[in-house]
Structure 1
Amino acid sequence: MATLFSAQNALRELASDFRWAGLGNLLGDYGEFVAIEAYGLEKAPAGANGYDATMPDGRTVQIKANHAASQIGFRGEADLLLVLKVDTDGSWEEIYFGSFAAVKTVSRYSARDNKHMVAITKLKTIDPPGLP
């Protein structure tokens, strides 16, 4: 645990725009950080509803990071959805970057969790993959 908290403190110094709070949100914060840096996105202002970043052309992007789950959950609305798979060594790969609406149409709604859910396997089959 000490190693995890030490890593969080180091990440706060590296990228203070991110909260790096709580063990449950560490993967999400890392995914947002990586996506914003790698894709040239602009971090959304605090309190932005339904999106984490914006494209240079103004389109909104919801970012999801996944390590081992078979599905992702999402709420709200955005123009684009970017899903990254993060490995234990911190390396990552793009699973999906495309239309948020296209993902929403193939997802199922979970009333219990008040969010939409989509299997990673289904996400990988949505056309067209890649940046629209």
Structure 2
Amino acid sequence: MERLARTGQLVSELHAIVDQLEELYPGRKFTPDGHLVGSLGEVTAATLFDVALVNASTAGHDALTPDGRTVEIKATYGTSGVAIRRTSDGVAASLIVLKLSKEPDLEHEVVYNGPYDRVHSQLGRFQNNGAAIISLSRLRKLNAEVPATERIPGRRHA
């Protein structure tokens, strides 16, 4: 838990720096994205859920459950949606999507926790980069339909 608290503090400091940069350069965005947000989402999910992270950039999944299910983890600070990529290795068994909070005292939102196929079947056209965007509102609706038995269990201390 100490590591989680320190991570929250550092992320808050990072966002304070982003805010200062945006004040210095009006009209420019310095939003953390890409690998940084992905890694923050992965370590947050590993703290909240009973999963073990695999090596970074493992094709098709980011973590494994104790019973061997593969888990893809997506994270965003945004309010619109996330990109879901298709891989040559197929899709993971489960998907966790988090909306991360910039504030250390606010909880991250679990937007979706359930079977990957349930989301994959709802994706629209894949773009040239191999990704399709799905809205957070759509993911919330899908999440409401996931039975508890199909969710990745949370950690007791989280």
> Which of the residues 94, 100, 118 maps onto 2:134?
118
Contact 1:31-1:64 at 8 Å conserved across structures: yes
Contact 2:46-2:52 at 8 Å conserved across structures: yes
Query: Which position in structure 2 is the counterpart of 1:62?
Result: 72
> Which of the residues 34, 51, 54 maps onto 2:44?
34
> Which of the residues 102, 112, 128 maps onto 2:146?
128
Which protein has the larger Cα radius of gyration, Structure 1 or Structure 2?
2
SS for the counterpart of 2:66 is coil
Identity level (%): 28
By percentage of residues, which structure has more strand?
1
Q: Output the CA distance in 1 between the equivalents of 2:127 and 2:140.
A: 24
SS for the counterpart of 2:125 is strand
Cα distance, 1:131–1:37 mapped onto 2, change above 3 Å: farther
- Number of residue equivalences: 114
Contact 1:81-1:98 at 8 Å conserved across structures: yes
Deviations 1:43-71 (A, max 9, x none): 11344211100111100000011111411
The gaps in structure 2 that reach 5 residues or longer are 1-12, 18-31, 151-158
Structure of greater relative contact order (alpha carbons < 8 Å, 6+ residues apart): 2
TM-score by length of 2: 0.64
1:43 aligns with 2:53: yes
Deviations 1:94-129 (A, max 9, x none): 111001001011111332331122111111111216
SS for the counterpart of 2:78 is coil
The gaps in structure 1 that reach 5 residues or longer are 8-22
Contact 2:56-2:62 at 8 Å conserved across structures: no
Range with bigger deviation, 25-34 or 109-118:
109-118
TM-score by length of 1: 0.76
